[in-house]
Amino acid sequence: MDYSISIEGTPNPNALKFILNVPVKTSGNTTYSNAQECAMNLLAQKLFEISNIKNLYFFENYITVSQDGSADWEDLQQQIEKTILGNIADHNPDFEVEAPVESSTSSSSGPEIAKIDAVLNDTIRPFLQKDGGDVQVLGLEENTITISYQGACGSCPGARMGTLQAIQNILQEQYKPDVIVEMA
């Protein structure tokens, strides 16, 4: 099979979206912050061998790669493309991920989280995913929702202010008016 990659910029100047003609993750999404987190994903391990890589996000048919801001994208982009193309044939898009440890003080599943996720799925997630990122609901405690950004959104300057406020406004309108959204 011939593998191909197209590259898109993201609103985050330190992240690029590498879109492949094959799936890289068939179910869900996965974010890695270092090589130790990706024991079940050889492609991710190989990408972390490249200097300046800060974060990887696998979703459907793309990988968003975030760098630390000190590398030239032109050189880095060539290394990333070469690594992906050199390892994609052996990549299993059904790779396993370790389940996160759940906090005992907040709920990260259940009917209320499902309602929050439904609102995010209909409003925010399509836009974040188009830009190479996503948002994960980590928990709900009283009226406070804790989220974590993934992919390009994780280190994007706009995520901390504008996007966070937009998420809170939408959830206040469509979920509960007194809800507060904060980042983990």
Helix axes 164-174, 111-123, angle to 10 degrees: 120
| pLDDT (0 to 100) of residue 101 | 46
Q: What is the pLDDT of residues 127-154, one digit of tens each?
A: 999 989 899 999 999 999 999 999 888 8
Q: How confident is the prediction for the chain on average, in pLDDT?
A: 90
The proportion of the chain whose per-residue pLDDT surpasses 70, expressed as a percent, equals 93
Q: How many of the other CB atoms lie within 10 Å of CB of 43?
A: 22
Residues of the chain with CATH 3.30.300.130: 111-183
Start-to-end CA span in the chain (Å): 41
In the chain, % of residues over pLDDT 90 = 76
Which of 99 and 182 is assigned the larger pLDDT?
A: 182
Architecture of domain 111-183: 2-Layer Sandwich (3.30)
Tell me: the pLDDT tens digits for 19-64?
A: 999 999 999 899 999 999 998 999 999 999 999 999 999 999 999 9
- d(CA 43, CA 87) in angstroms, rounded, equals 6
pLDDT band at 123 (very low <50, low <70, confident <90, very high): very high
The pLDDT-based confidence of 73 (bands split at 50, 70, 90) is very high
Q: DSSP string spanning 61-123?
A: TEEEEEE-S-S-HHHHHHHHHHHHHHHGGG--TT---PPPPPPSSSBSSSHHHHHHHHHHHHH
Task: Indicate the pTM of the whole model.
Answer: 0.84
Q: Round the CA-based radius of gyration of the chain to a whole number and report it.
A: 17
pLDDT value at residue 103: 41
Q: 5-90 has which CATH code?
A: 3.30.1370.70
Q: What is the pLDDT of residue 117?
A: 94
CATH code 3.30.1370.70 region(s) in the chain: 5-90
pLDDT > 90? residue 98: no
Q: Which amino acid is at 113?
A: I
Paired tokens of 79: 């290394």
